[in-house]
Amino acid sequence: MLLGLSCALLIVILDQFSKYYIMENILNEYGAISFTSFFNLVRAWNTGVSFSMFNDGGTTGTILLSVMSIVIICFLIYWLYKEKEKIIQVSLGFIIGGALGNVIDRITRGAVFDFLDFHIGEHHWPAFNVADSFICIGATIIIIHGLFVAQKKEEERK
C-alpha cells in the first residue's frame, strides 16, 4: 500500500507544481502559446469531468463532482489496501494522485486548470493536465494487466 500512496503523493506534487508553474510563469501574460504545429500550452478551466464533459453544472456541479471524486478515491484506496501486485499498486497510485490533484483544483479554484493542448490542424483534443495524464496511464495499465497478465496467470493455474 505504501508504494501506491507514495506514487499518489508524487503525482499530486507534480500536478500541482506543473499547474502553478505554467499558470504563474509561462502563461501569466498569455492565453495560449503555440510550441509546435500540433501542441500548444493554453489556459483552460474545466468545471466538468475528464475532457470537459458535464461542464455546465455551475457551483452545484463542482461540489457534486468533488464529492463523487472523493468517494471514488476512497474506494480506490480500499482497493489499494487489498491489492498485492506492485504494478496495480503503482497504477492505483497514479489514478488516486491524479484524482486528488483535480479535486484540489476544484476545491481551491472552483475548476480544474488544464493547459496541455494537442491538435491536428484546427481539430483540438480537449485540453488536459498532468493529473489527467496519470489517471489515463494508471487506468490503461490496469486494463492491459486485467486483459493479458491476469488472464495468463489464471490459465497457468489450471
Active-site option among 15, 105, 117, 132: 132
Tell how strand 112-120 and strand 123-124 pair up. Answer: antiparallel
Active site residue 105: no
pLDDT tens-digit map of 53-69: 555 656 777 788 899 99
Which of 26-35, 53-62, 86-95, 140-149 has the largest mean confidence? 86-95
Q: Give yes or no for residue 21 having a pLDDT over 90.
A: yes
Tell how strand 39-46 and strand 123-124 pair up. Answer: unpaired
Residue % of the chain over a pLDDT of 70: 88
Which residues are within 8 A (CB) of 117 and not within 5 positions of it... i.e. 6 or more apart?
Answer: 32, 39, 40, 41, 42, 44, 124, 125, 127
Res. 139 pLDDT band, cuts 50 70 90: very high
Helices (H) and strands (E) in the chain, counts: 5, 4
CA 104/CA 66 separation, integer angstroms: 9
Better-scored residue on pLDDT, 100 or 54 = 100
